[in-house]
Homo-oligomer: A and B are copies of this chain.
Amino acid sequence: MSEANENDAAFEVRAWLKANWNPEQSLIDWRTKLADSGWGMPHWPKQWHGRGLPVRMLPAINDEFVAVGAVGAAATGPRILASVTLLEHASDAIKQRFLRRIITGEDGWCQLFSEPGSGSDLAGATTRADFDGTQWVINGQKVWNTSAHHADYGLLVARTDWDAPKHQGLSYFVIDMRQPGVQVLPLKQMNGHASFNQVFFTDAKIPADWIVGTKNNGWAVAMTTLAHERRPAVGVAGVSGEGRTGRAYAEARVEAEIANEPYKWYPQRAGRVDLVVTRAKKTGAWNDPVVRQEIARLLTMSRSTNWMARRAAAAQRIGKPQGPEGSLGKLAGSNVARQASHVHTLITGAESMLTGHDSPLDGIIAEILVSVPATSIAGGTDEIQRNIIGERVLGLPKDPRSDAGPFRDIPRNV
């Protein structure tokens, strides 16, 4: 089959791009063409705005986009989580309604999983969805919702059966975020950023058929979303609008700025190992044998963590499946960030007491020091990672459960 050949696909898309790409069109016009042609998400099924091509062809196709300077589809970040979940689990009616507008970027999405009372224990969600005969009525609260303030629709996990065991009473919905029963408030963090939201539901409504998968099977659907959250995004990214002239580029820049805003402090959260040697040489700490030991420890941890990830990736390339070993990298990242924060303090000395413009690198150093604590919490705490590693990688027995039986009877936060 010719479709399975990278060269053919590249040839075909090259011709199509030549005919259709033009930086002076509007982003929405361009992405409408992407959706119509299937070149925006070529690995999606043909009936859902794709071309049914294998994932391995995407790099070759992307190369062609880059070669002509074309922008990719809008399916990045929360939108990609929505699309993979809907593609796998949603009804045709839902797919019909939403998938195309994900590619074009007309709709923004967010994820509504975590709750104040269920962080590590996601399946302990207590936001309720009650069917009133014609539609679902939602009450409860979600938290840590990136981009919820820009979202048109949300991926919601809510409880539909309180007598079932906790994983078996959840359902997965698409919810319209632009309605009176949904209130989105920013959640400010200790580093001053407010990159997450809290979302409150007060008799919010969901149409009867906006359920994804079947009733009470929401945990399995959520697993699909979460698996993709931990995986690098797959798609045709094309080029960014950065440093380019043309209407589509300008619009892409605006889009990216909004999308990236919540993630601005993420490099600081990871510890900014890249700054350490330069900073140490600048402050003179580079000549302190005690600080040098700590820098050497940090570089060893950081590089080894990188190499460990490459070992895992190389093992996958030769056929071994990706497993819960990702938790090792996550845990290593926490250790690296903590040590980096320590080293930055040693290097920076008295200036570690300052913040904002008074702090070195226009506040970057201060931001590292007050952001690193999030590394070992966000996306699954270190403690949860150690459970996963102990149980799923090393095969150690589980803790005895205290949350079996009907959800109604399980102790939970009030």
Please report A residues at the B interface, Cβ cutoff 8 Å: 288-290, 293, 400, 402
Contacts and interface: CB of A to CB of B under 8 A. Distances in A.
A289 B294 CA distance: 13
Nearest 5 Cβ contacts at the A-B interface: A289-B289, A289-B290, A290-B293, A400-B400, A400-B402
Nearest to A293: B290
Contacts of A402: 400
Contacts of A293: 290
7 contacts: A288-B289, A289-B289, A289-B290, A290-B290, A290-B293, A400-B400, A400-B402
A339 B290 CA distance: 17
Q: Report copies per complex.
A: 2
Contacts of A290: 289-290, 293
A342 B42 CA distance: 58
A294 to B, nearest CB: 10
Contacts of A288: 289
A112 to B, nearest CB: 31
Contacts of A400: 400, 402
A400 B288 CA distance: 50
A293 B293 CA distance: 11
A383 B400 CA distance: 18
A290 B290 CA distance: 5
A261 B378 CA distance: 54
A288 B292 CA distance: 13
A339 to B, nearest CB: 16
A342 to B, nearest CB: 13
A293 B400 CA distance: 43
Nearest to A288: B289
A290 B296 CA distance: 13
A92 to B, nearest CB: 46
